[in-house]
């Protein structure tokens, strides 16, 4: 539908030329001293090229993105019961009617392990990666819509989020399929652009209605809804107005978005995550592709810290507001990163490991769980270009989380850079600057140079099955950033070569992913037995989906999705049965 309300006084900058400026810069091309060039045409005094436009959401799409693909199905699909044959586990797990003759090695249960009854056996997903319906029902464009459509090579298979899993219309069936497998928690993200097509300003009631029904459907199936406010889909207009997370205006706009979400959904949603993986947002999504967005002249290497600062302030403010609107809620941001193992026991490697924590998890965890401020290593670096947090800001940040939420996929080794830490810290052109921690995925020669574990698909080189390091990881988090509980808000695996398999029945056997979930669940059980209060496991992901810049070329789903329209059919993979079977085996009766 077309949103009739217009959003006033949008300031469009000429520097967003590929996207917007061509619509009006042709009016004047005089060349005066101090002029600059836009698309090869000299333009005088570019800052004067600002106009007040009244635009509709459709105009915004036309400016930023252009036409999008539309799925065959554009109305909500009702759920149908999952056929009981689809719920038969693979032969090595169950003995459901398979012919006799096979011998399955006996699985012994460790009787001293258990999952508490209240444990959240969950799955996770994110709006942009699954919903599709990009331009439907008043949604505004996000930076991901723009970049994937406009920037050549942005996704390695040229995919877009236009349709993906079409979960926007298929969520009822998706939730029914989770319930049929025994999943009791669903972590989804709300698209900011569905609630606020312009990022700020008028609220789109169709977006509200959609998530109301997602939430109600979860509850209908006894699944606890957990909502993430920001999983990377920045409203395009906010990116263009003030640089998205680079502009301090984002703090108020994000808080206002959060306010609407808490007040409209908080009666039913009690588990909230403000921001997904600030580290990934700030270090790998900024700077935005050059030439497509307004440029605020912040040096590339500084952008990540400007972003980090605004994210912390936005998170903390949204946390405080959330606690006042939904007092019986739990709220956290989702931190991320692998466990950091020192490559050797040298003190230099120990220092490198500490710097790696500081410039990854600690960058966000120290302020929230420990001090209200960044680690000193980070402060040493940013103090030359960022103002310190005021004592009032520190107060708001410190304690702005009810639990430690971690996307804990893997582990890797860290070691001192060849040049040494000191000389790296003094040399901003060192590629490891400013963290100055080197890393590797293989053990040292004394351990035979083995990789830390079997690798995921080559397009996810950061990911190995390293579940044997998980209990140490949890104990590290528990002692370093104490909080009442830990939730594993994402973990999962990209089965190697999965997207090059062609037979459905072969795709559904995903042995390394299955072993990952098996071992991971055991690792959680070990941590629980060591007294660490892990209250949720949210597997990434419940369906194959749009893996950001890797497009559909790598798969994280515990369900296969046939992306050929009109099918979009889902099928459970072996790993999904492994995951839920481990839970069923160990949950307290
Ligand atoms: C998460 N790393 O990102 C995201 O939250 C998901 O949206 C994404 O699909 C999923 O992991 C799988 O990639 C990560 O480099 C990105 O360590 C990178 C890393 C970890 C998580």
Ordered structural domains, the chain, with CATH: 65-97+114-415+457-586 (3.20.20.80)
Whether pLDDT at 206 is above 50: yes
Does the pLDDT at position 241 exceed 70? yes
Cα distance between residue 92 and residue 581, in whole Å: 11
Q: Which residues approach ligand 1 with their CB closer than 6 A? A: 126, 129, 276-277, 280, 336, 338, 407, 409, 462, 490, 540, 547, 556
Q: What residue ranges in 44-151 does DSSP mark as E strands?
A: 52-55, 120-124
As a whole number of angstroms, the distance between CA 521 and CA 515 comes to 10
The per-residue pLDDT for 100 is 86
What does DSSP assign to residue 99? P
Per-chain mean pLDDT for the chain? 92
End-to-end CA distance of the chain: 50
Give 12's pLDDT tier (boundaries 50, 70, 90): very low
Q: How far is the CA of 100 from the centre of ligand 1 (A)?
A: 42
Least confident of 33-42, 57-66, 164-173, 568-577: 33-42
491 CA to centre of ligand 1 in angstroms: 9
pLDDT at residue 103 in the model: 86
- Over 90: is that where the pLDDT of 24 sits? no
Give me ligand 1 centre to Cα 492, in Å. Answer: 9
Q: Which atom of ligand 1 is nearest to the CA of 556?
A: 12
> Confidence band (pLDDT; 50, 70, 90) for 25?
very low
**3-7, 41-45, 394-398, 539-543: segment of lowest average pLDDT:** 3-7
Percent of the chain whose predicted confidence (pLDDT) is above 90? 88
- pLDDT tens digits, residue range 343-376? 999 999 999 999 999 999 999 999 999 999 999 9
Q: Please choose from 124, 155, 226, 277 the residue to mutate so as to test ligand 1's pocket, defined by most ligand atoms within 8 A of CB.
A: 277
Residue in the block written with tokens 């009822």:
172
CA 289 to ligand 1 center in whole angstroms: 20
Q: Which of 191, 336, 411 to mutate to test the pocket of ligand 1 (most atoms within 8 A of CB)?
A: 336
Residues 6+ positions from 80 with CB-CB distance below 8 Å: 173, 176
Would you say residue 462 has pLDDT above 90?
A: yes
Residue 234, sorted as left (phi over 0), alpha (psi -120 to 50) or beta, turns out to be: beta
| 30 Cβ contact list (under 8 Å, min separation 6) | 42, 44
Reported as a single tens digit per residue, the pLDDT across 74-112 is 999 999 999 999 999 999 998 788 888 988 888 889 999
pLDDT above 90 (res 20)? no
Residue 8: per-residue pLDDT: 28
pLDDT digits (tens, 9 = 90+) for 307-341: 999 999 999 999 999 999 999 999 999 999 999 99
More confident: 53 or 296: 296
Q: What separation in Å is there between the alpha carbon of 495 and the centre of ligand 1?
A: 15
Q: What is the pLDDT of residues 549-587, one digit of tens each?
A: 999 999 999 999 999 989 999 999 999 999 999 999 999
Residues 51 and 37: their CA atoms lie apart, in Å, by 19
- What pLDDT, on a 0 to 100 scale, did the predictor assign at position 43? 57
**pLDDT tens digits for range 476-527:** 999 999 999 999 999 999 999 999 999 999 999 999 999 999 999 999 999 9
What atom in ligand 1 is closest to the CA of residue 334? 5
Average pLDDT over residues 212-217: 99
Tell which atom from ligand 1 comes closest to the C-alpha of 545.
9
* Angle at alpha carbon of residue 140, lines to 139 and 142, rounded to 5°: 120
Q: Which residue puts its alpha carbon closest to atom 15 of ligand 1?
A: 462
Band of residue 3 on the pLDDT scale cut at 50, 70, 90 = very low
Of 36-45, 238-247, 304-313, the range with the lowest mean pLDDT is 36-45
Of 19-23, 108-112, 258-262, which range is least confident?
19-23
Name the residue at shortest CA distance from atom 14 of ligand 1.
280
- Each residue's pLDDT tens digit, 159-190: 999 999 999 999 999 999 999 999 999 999 99
Active site residues: 277, 490
């Amino acid at each position: 539908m077309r949103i009739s309300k217009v959003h006033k006084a949008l300031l469009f900058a000429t520097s967003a030329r590929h996207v917007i400026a061509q619509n009006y810069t042709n009016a004047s091309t005089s060349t005066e001293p101090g002029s600059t060039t836009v698309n090869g045409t000299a333009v005088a005094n570019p800052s004067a090229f600002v106009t007040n436009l009244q635009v509709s959401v459709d105009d915004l799409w036309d400016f930023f993105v252009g036409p999008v693909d539309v799925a065959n199905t554009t109305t909500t699909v009702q759920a149908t019961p999952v056929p009981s044959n689809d719920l038969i586990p693979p032969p090595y797990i169950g003995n459901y009617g398979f012919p006799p003759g096979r011998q399955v090695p006996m699985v012994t249960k460790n009787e001293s392990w258990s999952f508490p009854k209240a444990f959240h056996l969950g799955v996770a997903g994110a709006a942009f990666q699954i919903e599709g319906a990009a331009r439907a029902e008043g949604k505004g464009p996000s930076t991901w819509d723009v970049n994937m459509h406009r920037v050549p090579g942005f996704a390695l298979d040229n995919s877009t989020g236009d349709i993906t899993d079409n979960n926007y219309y298929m969520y009822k069936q998706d939730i029914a399929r989770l319930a049929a497998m025994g999943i009791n928690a669903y972590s989804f993200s709300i698209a900011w652009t569905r609630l606020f097509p312009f990022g700020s300003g008028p609220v789109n009631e169709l977006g509200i209605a959609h998530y109301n029904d997602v939430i109600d459907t979860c509850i209908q199936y006894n699944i606890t809804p957990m909502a993430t406010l920001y999983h990377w889909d920045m409203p395009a207009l906010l990116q263009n107005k003030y640089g998205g997370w680079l502009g301090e205006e984002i703090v108020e706009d994000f808080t206002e978005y959060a306010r609407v979400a808490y007040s409209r959904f908080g009666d039913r949603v009690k588990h909230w995550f403000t921001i997904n993986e600030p580290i990934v947002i700030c270090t790998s999504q900024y700077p935005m592709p050059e030439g497509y967005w307004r440029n605020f002249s912040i040096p590339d290497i500084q952008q990540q810290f400007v972003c980090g600062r605004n994210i912390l302030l936005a998170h903390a403010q949204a946390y405080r507001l959330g606690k006042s609107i939904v007092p019986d809620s739990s709220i956290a941001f989702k931190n991320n990163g692998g466990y950091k193992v020192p490559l050797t026991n040298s003190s230099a490697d120990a220092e490198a490991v500490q710097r790696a924590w500081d410039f990854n998890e600690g960058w966000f965890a120290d302020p929230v769980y420990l001090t209200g401020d960044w680690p000193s290593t980070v402060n040493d670096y940013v103090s030359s270009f960022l103002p310190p947090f005021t004592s009032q800001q520190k107060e708001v940040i410190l304690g702005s989380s009810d639990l430690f939420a971690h996307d804990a996929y893997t582990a890797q080794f860290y070691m001192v850079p060849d040049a040494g830490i000191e000389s790296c810290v003094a040399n901003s052109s060192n590629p490891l600057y400013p963290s100055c921690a080197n890393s590797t995925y293989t053990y040292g020669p004394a351990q035979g140079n083995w990789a830390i574990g079997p690798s995921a698909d080559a397009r996810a080189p950061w990911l190995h099955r390293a579940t044997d390091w998980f209990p140490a990881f949890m104990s590290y988090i528990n002692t370093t950033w104490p909080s009442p509980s830990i939730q594993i808000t994402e973990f999962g695996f990209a089965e190697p070569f999965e997207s090059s398999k062609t037979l459905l029945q072969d795709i559904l056997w995903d042995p390394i992913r299955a072993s990952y979930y098996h071992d991971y669940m055991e690792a959680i059980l070990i941590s629980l037995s060591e007294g660490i209060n892990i209250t949720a496991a949210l597997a990434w992901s419940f369906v194959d989906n749009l893996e950001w810049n890797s497009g559909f070329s790598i798969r994280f789903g515990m369900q296969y999705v046939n992306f050929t329209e009109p099918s979009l059919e889902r099928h459970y993979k072996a790993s999904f049965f492994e995951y839920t079977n481990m839970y069923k085996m160990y949950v307290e009766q």
